[in-house]
Amino acid sequence: MDDLLADFIAETREMLEASGGELVAWEADPTDRARLDTIFRFVHTVKGNCGFFDFPRLANLSHAAEDALADCRAGRRDPDQQLVTAVLAVIDRIAAMIDAIEANEPIDDGNDDDLIAMLDVSHETSETGGLEGVKEGSNPHLHAPASTLLASNDEANAPSRRADPAAQRTIRLPVELLDRVMSGVSDMVLARNDLAHRLRQAGTQPTIDGPFERLTTILSDVRDAITRMRMQRIETLFGALPRLVRDLSTELGKQVMVDMDGGDVELDREMIETIRDPITHLIRNAIDHGIEAPSARLGQGKREIGLLAIAARQSGNTISIVISDDGRGLDEERIAAKAVATGLVTAAERTAMTRERILNLIFEPGFSTAETVSNVSGRGVGLDVVRQNLEKVGGSIRVTSQPGEGTSFTLHIPLTLSIIAGLTVEVAGHRFAIPQSYVEEIVQASSKQLDFTRMGETALVTFRGNRVPCLMLGEVLGLPACEVAAREPTLVMLRLASGDLFALAVEGIHGHGDLVVKPLAPAVMKSGFYAGSTLLDDGQPVLLLDVANIAAGARLVSDTRARVLSALEDSAAKVAVQADRAMLFTDFAGRRSAVRLELVQRIETAPASAIDRSGARPRVVIDGMILPLVGLPESPLAQSRVRLLRLSDGACELLYAVREVEDAVELTEALHPVPEDPFAEAITLIAGQPVTLVDAHELFARHGEPPIAAERPRCTLPEGEWARTILSPLVSAAGYDIVAEGEAGPNTLGILFDDVYEVAEALGRPLPQQVIRLRDQPDAPAGSGTIYRYDRESLLAALAAARKGVAA
């Protein structure tokens, strides 16, 4: 009942809002037939809806107004100004009553006879002559009752509204003004950035830096507030949905109840407009295809009335909206059959696909399972367009479904469009910005290490054992190629909202920071490569790349991707059983040495001046972290810049200064131990040349120390609710960062259930190097190597040991 009532209020409100303009226009010209019809429909609907509820006053009022207006429509009387006034008064009172109903206040037993009489009075006067009526209508005396009545009504309702503790004081502002303030603040941010740039160039100036810092803080506060001003409650979108659902379900002969939650979640105004159509489309689909007819539902033992739940949640910088129904669910077989029939996947691929992946095929272009196109959903807009529109604004969509139980669509959308974190890259002398949200990782390496290959026109790189398509940004944009960059490109690994990973080869990273994104001229937008423009802190304008569109243009998304990816999963398994790899380099003593590749985090380049030799050991500051440095010669450095291998054992880090980095190599030859050199693990042959393999154990034992801002060790958890809610706090408290399976690095500790572990082992799947195996039973044979999942002591001991194990 409450839901129905909420629907009624929402609908009446909506109509009141919509007819506001009509009322004014009708008042100006009472003979306007179209306006009259609109207002008649409004009172008629109110009257009809009141029938379901016990609101006699509302029913009487709307009934009287309907009668009067029906007479006008039938030509039995002329709409004069008096009638207009009376009808307006009635409508205003309906609005007041709706307010009271919504606030859960009982409608007082006030009397509406006065208003009803006014409708009738005008009826009688109009019989004596329209002209006279008009005259009397313009008489202020007749206006007075309406306004005083309304005033008294307002008084009755006002205290109750003010008493509402949740009500905030609000004002209405024109959107244009908001935009002006917004862009003013954006300009201020840019001016501040420019100033910051100049101040940096001028060096430290304590008298200026202090106030400047304060300005920065204030500005960022103001910007936050302004960003919030642009926000609108998602209610404004939700408000129209009950009506949509009602209309659709009536049209389709279904009964659907809508349950909405999270209407107070706030979202950028423009974003709300962007998601309006996708959400409407999903709701149409749910009612048309998802929810069954009442008889079918009863037959399956479900409630006759289908439930459509729409919920919005904010988590960090994204909003997730879940639209779920309790209908028949998606038919995996039919989707798969359709996908095979349309050539999206082959039959062989289909058998290898998980249910989830099959279901998500419905977002592929050219896919539509509805056999009969009804006038409700089949409107030529497919779910691919829905996904496209969401991806355009950096969002994503997933679907999950249980046969017979329902379907739910999850949309993730970013909070705002206008200020985003971004990365600035450089190619052929041009700078471009990339939204940070896409950036997974930045890789800098020689093309040999990346196993850069060209398959026809497509370039592939090997990243963490996966073959990933690689786009040359310069080529994409038709810029002249640069020799050096081709040999040693910087790869920005980009993860699209659809989950596709690809590499974008650029010549260098210029910087990162908050970017104020401004729209581009339509002619530029049409090129499809750019999403906006922004100004860097030096005032240079920079274009923001439309990553999703570029990827789509290179056909890196959708069906082609599915195939490449599945192939890659296989090759990943092969890579995992490869021989040990090491980074080959020449140290300052001129020795060719190698260090195991797992230890090498990055190759850094630091100016010689950054090396601090004042302490017992030399140190270097890199990325704000103080790190010990080994491998330096005794004599002063000849070069101005020095290459450093950044080694890490998971907890400690150190830098190894080298004269030259050669390449990553496989350790295929036998390793000969060298007992006389404590820092050498072994000597081996690489391409026929002897190479000393650095003993990392000794190195870290002597020189390793946790960096000042130490990185926490990382850990992956088994899937499932238990791991998320019960295990993860324990693991976090033990000092681990919990990461997703896909982000697991070589030093990541894996916690697995023993059965999962055994299966993986049996199938030869790649397993983390460090594993803690959990079992479900408290008792287990001795030496099983597993830990009972509620054995806290052992679990903590194992976690601590794993940390040390990495560190040792």
Partner 1 sequence: MIGELLVVARIAGRACALSALDVKSVIEIGTVTPIPRAPVWIAGITALRSQALTVIDCRRAIGLPESEWPTDHRAIVVAEGGHSYALLVDAIDDITTGASEAGQVPGGFGPEWSRIATGMVETMAGPALLVDLGALLAGPDAIRQEIEAVV
Strand partners, 682: 693
Beta carbons within 8 Å of 736's beta carbon, 6+ residues apart:
712, 713, 714, 715, 749, 799, 803
Closer of 186 and 285 to partner 1 (Cβ): 186
Options 529, 700, 736, 753; binder of partner 1; rule CB under 8 A:
529
| Closest residue by Cα to residue 669 from 682, 656, 654 | 682
Q: How far is it, in rounded angstroms, from Cα 260 to Cα 242? A: 9
Binding mask 412-441 for partner 1 (x = CB under 8 A): ------------------xx----------
| Distance of alpha carbon 683 from the chain centroid | 51
Stretch that binds partner 1, among 216-224, 294-302, 513-521, 654-662 (CB under 8 A): 513-521
Choose, by CB under 8 A, the member of 219, 222, 296, 520 that binds partner 1: 520
Q: What is the largest CA-CA distance in the chain?
A: 123
> Minimal distance in Å, beta carbon 188 to partner 1?
8
CB of 426 to partner 1, least distance (A): 12
Residues ≥6 apart with Cβ < 8 Å to 650 = 713, 747, 803, 806, 807
In the complex, what is the shortest distance from the CB of residue 273 to partner 1, in angstroms, rounded to a whole number?
15
Between residues 149 and 542, which has the closer beta carbon with respect to partner 1?
542
Q: Which stretch binds partner 1 (CB under 8 A): 36-44, 535-543, 589-597, 757-765?
A: 535-543
Its sign, for the CA torsion 580, 586, 592, 593, is negative
Out of 271, 542, 606, 771, point to the residue binding partner 1 (CB under 8 A). 542
**What's the closest the beta carbon of residue 194 comes to partner 1, in angstroms?**
9
Give the closest residue to 328 by CA, choosing from 388, 235, 404, 222.
404
CB atoms near residue 349 (< 10 Å): 18
Please report whether residue 558 would count as binding partner 1 according to CB under 8 A. Answer: no
Q: Which stretch binds partner 1 (CB under 8 A): 74-82, 247-255, 476-484, 626-634?
A: 476-484
Nearer to partner 1 (CB atom), residue 477 or residue 637: 477
| Residue span binding partner 1 (CB under 8 A) among the ranges 520-528, 555-563, 686-694, 777-785 | 520-528
Residue 505 found at the interface with partner 1 (CB under 8 A): no
Does 723 contact partner 1 by CB under 8 A? no
Kindly tell me which of 442 and 520 has the beta carbon lying closer to partner 1: 520
Q: Radius of gyration over alpha carbons of the chain, in Å?
A: 35
- Residues whose CB falls within 8 Å of the CB of residue 702, separated by 6 or more in sequence, listed in order: none
Query: Which of 498, 534, 593, 684 is in the footprint of partner 1 by CB under 8 A?
Result: 534
Nearer to partner 1, 188 or 244 (CB): 188
The residue within the footprint of partner 1, chosen from 74, 202, 341, 521 (CB under 8 A), is 521
Which residues share a beta bridge with 423? 434, 512
Of the two residues 191 and 572, which places its CB atom closer to partner 1 in the complex? Answer: 191
Single residue of 477, 682, 739, 756 touching partner 1 by CB under 8 A: 477
Q: Which residues pair with 629 in a beta bridge?
A: 655
Ranges within 171-210 binding partner 1 (CB under 8 A): 186-187, 190-191
Q: Which two tokens stand for residue 443?
A: 């890789």
In whole angstroms, how close is the CB of 528 to partner 1 at the nearest point? 8
- 535 forms part of the interface with partner 1 (CB under 8 A): yes
- Length, in residues, of the chain: 808
How near is the Cβ of 436 to partner 1 at its closest, in Å? 20
Work out whether 360 is an interface residue with partner 1 (CB under 8 A).
no
Position 715 contacts partner 1 (CB under 8 A): no
| CA–CA gap between residue 65 and residue 71 (Å, rounded) | 10
Helix (H), strand (E), coil (C) string for 606-670: EEHHHEECCCCCCEEEECCEEEEEECCCCCCCCCCEEEEEEEECCCCEEEEEECEEEEEEECCCC
Q: What 3-state DSSP class applies to 788?
A: strand
Give yes or no for residue 485 binding partner 1 (CB under 8 A): no
Residue 290 near residue 258, CB atoms below 8 Å = no
Burial class (CB in 10 A: 0-12, 13-18, 19+), 509: middle
Nearest residue (CB) to partner 1, 227 versus 446: 227
> Residue 26's CB: how many other CB atoms inside 10 A?
22
Q: Is 522 in the site for partner 1 (CB under 8 A)?
A: yes
Write down the least CB distance from residue 520 to partner 1, Å: 7
Count residues contacting partner 1 (CB under 8 A)?
28
* Residue 62 touching partner 1 (CB under 8 A): no
Among 478, 624, 636, 781, interactor with partner 1 by CB under 8 A: 478
Nearer Cβ to partner 1 (80/546): 546
Identity of the residue, 306 or 532, whose beta carbon is nearer to partner 1 in the bound complex: 532
Residue from the set 523, 577, 589, 670 that interacts with partner 1 by CB under 8 A: 523
194 or 711, CB closer to partner 1?
194
CA 26 to chain centre: 45
Q: Which burial class, exposed, middle or buried, applies to 63 when counting CB atoms under 10 A from its CB (0-12, 13-18, 19+)?
A: middle
Min dist CB 215 to partner 1, Å, is 16
The stretch near partner 1 (CB under 8 A) out of 126-134, 368-376, 528-536, 726-734 is: 528-536
CA distances from 114 to 111, 117, 684, 749 (A): 7, 5, 104, 78
Question: Given the complex with partner 1, which of 29 and 187 has the nearer CB atom?
Answer: 187
Least distance CB 191 / partner 1 (angstroms): 7
Instruction: Extract the tokens encoding 589.
Output: 């003593």
Instruction: Mark the segment that binds partner 1 (CB under 8 A) among 34-42, 106-114, 475-483, 501-509.
Output: 475-483
Q: Does 527 bind partner 1 (CB under 8 A)?
A: yes
- Strand pairing of 430-435 and 541-545? parallel
505 C-beta neighbours (distance < 10 Å), count: 25
Q: Closer to partner 1 by CB, 397 or 517: give it.
A: 517
Token pair listed for 428: 């052929």
Give the interface segment with partner 1, choosing from 441-449, 512-520, 578-586, 596-604 (CB under 8 A): 512-520
79-100 burial, b if ≥16 CB within 10 A, otherwise e? bbbbbbbbbbbbbbbbbbbbbb
233 binds partner 1 (CB under 8 A): no
Kindly tell me which of 509 and 520 has the beta carbon lying closer to partner 1.
Answer: 520
530 is a site residue for partner 1 (CB under 8 A): yes
β-strand partners of 413: 319
Q: Which is nearer to partner 1, 5 or 482 (CB)?
A: 482
The 3-state DSSP class for residue 5 equals: helix
Residue 539 engages partner 1 in binding (rule: CB under 8 A) = yes
Q: Lay out the sheet containing 689-694: strands in order across.
A: 660-666, 581-586, 592-596, 689-694, 680-686
Among 541, 678, 720, 785, binds partner 1 (CB under 8 A): 541
Q: What's the token pair of residue 705? A: 């120390």
Single out the residue of 206, 180, 277, 273 nearest to residue 234, CA to CA.
273
The Cα-based distances of 715 to 343, 577, 653, 784, 797 in angstroms read 40, 22, 18, 22, 15
Distance CA 445, CA 46 (A): 70
The reply on whether position 540 binds partner 1 by CB under 8 A is yes
Q: Footprint of partner 1 on this chain (CB under 8 A)?
A: 186-187, 190-191, 430-431, 477-479, 516, 518-524, 527, 529-530, 533-535, 539-543
